[in-house]
Structure 1
């Protein structure tokens, strides 16, 4: 099976972005970008991806930093518990409140201002994102992996977890080489599919 065929099969089987799965219609607008940052925080802990996605859906009622900040700590905890995000519910509620406050103070609640501050430098985007509580290197990678759909300067963005999936499937682990198999707007989907290949042995086995 050629690499191109393998990539197309992977996209057909597992090419839904994590943002889409969480009900986020990603666009270069404040609310969906903020919701992506929340999802990235949730996905970066040692918890199943499906639970993190469900938690992001529960938290979507607070779709802006101001709304998240205005919600009570207990309201956020209750939403996380509702999605079975129990192991980190209290600390995550605290982190989300503090993160919302930071975004309001530093960027007026608009992550596009963080993008402008980074001036087209993907590493600077990543560094600035990591100022958010609980959004460490893993979370910043998740955000950039998904945000490359709407922030083209991040392309191609394949983090370690995505590249591990590529290796499992016998594909190149060079980002530029992987990117040649898809159009620019498909890169986020490919990255998400490769992550799923890392997480799901049966998927990797079926496609390798």
Structure 2
């Protein structure tokens, strides 16, 4: 039993099972020559269908995505009692393994599952950027403004004066809990409190 794998340029692997003490060089040369003829014949048939290899994997092919996060963020991805990482796994279908040095490996059965899990991890570990516009969800209304979730576990305050260019008497006149809105980060103070503005988004849009 003699199996040979390779390309047009040469052999990449071979396996031989024999029931005799050994073979000589001539037998090996003959076997390799026959294997090459068979290999070239098969490659010609394959090239007739697809002449070059695909530049991208099939979206249905299993894959592993590896990223590095700051070690301080590991607990955020895992969550209390493993709740966060368990939710990501259940909702995306991907499996996540985190090393002590912050290496995160995402195992998925297809492209969409892997990318969905990757986005979740990136959102959890992302740092809020001053000046950046985020799409957030209104989490809670207060008399003085609204708290908006812009990233997982990261809420900021839109003060009533930053909701609109017009005077706003009641926050509930303009916003409701669950609304998805665009906000701009004005400031992140030393305590990590985030100050947001809807008005600044409108001003930036008008200027552009």
| Greater RCO (CA < 8 Å, at least 6 residues apart) | 1
Greater gyration radius: 2
Tell me which protein shows more strand as a share of its residues. 2
Give TM class, smaller chain.
under 0.3
